[in-house]
Structure 1
Amino acid sequence: METDEARLKRLAMRSWRRGTKEMDIILGHFCDDRLAEMSKDDLDLYDALLAENDQDLYQWVTGQVAAPERFSPLIATIADHAAARDH
């Protein structure tokens, strides 16, 4: 069984090494700033989100395409976080 610490490290690695620089930056900073405070259920959802394609994730986060309903609240949180970092 994966420890909480190991899980956070794994999610951080997957957040920072996505395959596209844009998603590395967006998800990497989100991970660094927010993951430690997320609930187990929220971490489960984030883990599932990381399995999605980077091109889809980028379109969802930037609002070009609506995110699937299951991910909508999390995508909105990530998008707000990214926008706040830009200002």
Structure 2
Amino acid sequence: MKVMDERRRKLNFRAWRRGFREMDLIMGQFADQHIGAMSENELQEFERLLATPDWEVYAWIVGNKPVPPNYAGPVLDRLLSFEYDPRA
């Protein structure tokens, strides 16, 4: 098993501690599955998403609000189509 570098480890930690349970599950499981293969640009995009208020990102995920063009990108596209396990 490849050891996760410190930056990815910290991002993964932040993904699992969002502020409300649903976002913990979505962002945490997404990070567990994708962060190890993210490029530098994708890591920057993921960091930006983690810095965005949870309720805003959640509204994009559930389709209550459109994604602003300045947030569109490959990581968010994958997150929007990600199917998490709500029972985890």
TM-score (norm 1): 0.84
Point out where structure 2 has 5 or more consecutive residues left out of the alignment. Answer: none
1:64 is matched by which residue type in structure 2?
N
C-alpha RMSD of the superposition: 1.7
* Cα distance per residue 1:8-41 (max 9 Å; x no partner): 1110111000001111000000000001101000
| Matched positions, count | 82
1:78 is matched by which residue type in structure 2?
L
More helix by share: 1
Structure 2 CA distance for aligned equivalents of residues 35 and 72 of structure 1: 18
TM-score (norm 2): 0.83
Aligned residues: percent identity? 30
SS of residue matched to 2:51: coil
Point out where structure 1 has 5 or more consecutive residues left out of the alignment. Answer: none
Larger RCO (alpha carbons 8 Å, 6+ apart)? 2
Tell me whether 1:70 sits opposite 2:74 in the alignment.
no
